[in-house]
Amino acid sequence: MRRAIVTGASSGIGKAITNRLLALGYSVIGISRNVVADDFQGENFQALQCDLTDSNAVIKLCELLKKEDISILVNAAGFGKFEPHEELGVATIIQMTFLNLTAPMLLTNATLRSLKQNSGYLININSIEALRASKFAAVYSATKAGLRAFGDALFEETRKSTLSITNINPDMTQSNFYNTLRFDVSDKENEKLLSEDIADAIEHILATRKGAVVSEYTIRSLQFGIKKKKATK
């Protein structure tokens, strides 16, 4: 049975991808701070709790994953905070950069030999913000654009192998990503993406003939919408 790793597996896009891979017959290692085995049905799921903003914890995790036989790595964990740059705290900048960019590069480093040997798939869940410049998103956009550039460069580096590398750039997707933010996705179906839409993209990528690679996968809502939250006292 081919084995996959999904970060951010306990909720949102990561959880939807994990459920889809399990349904497709993969064994999945799900990684997040709070993930537990009971989050998913079946014996083919393994929960690994790790704070992916903690450099020491990630280094230990990478040493563990080097011993695993991996066919798919999905870097789905991430967070954003959208404020004027001077209003961001130093800790927030460091954590966002490490979680969104450094941790995926380290996890890829740890699993790359196995992925190449298994004709595997490296899939980075980026963001529409990797493709554009938006106010109040300087750090978030930089991390996602950096992850996209990392995937593109690694694709060129590994083209003599049979590894497939894809950057997925979703638009605003209904998930807990927005729980601590001042805005949320629209309530209208045509103005938002669902986590399952991203899982559909993963399934499409895996079903594509191995000789062809979907290197860039951008998913937009049909119409634009956003919902501002009421200010709390």
Would residue 217 show up in a list of annotated catalytic residues for this protein?
no
- From 121, 140, 178, 217, the catalytic residue: 140
Backbone angles phi, psi at 197, to 5 degrees: -65, -35
- Residue 136 zone, left/alpha/beta (φ > 0; ψ -120 to 50; rest): left
Distance of CA 167 to the CA centre of its chain: 9
In this structure, the strands spanning 27-32 and 45-49 are parallel
What's the Cα-to-Cα distance from 79 to each of 89, 99, 125, 155, 179, rounded to whole Å? 15, 8, 12, 25, 11
Catalytic residues: 140
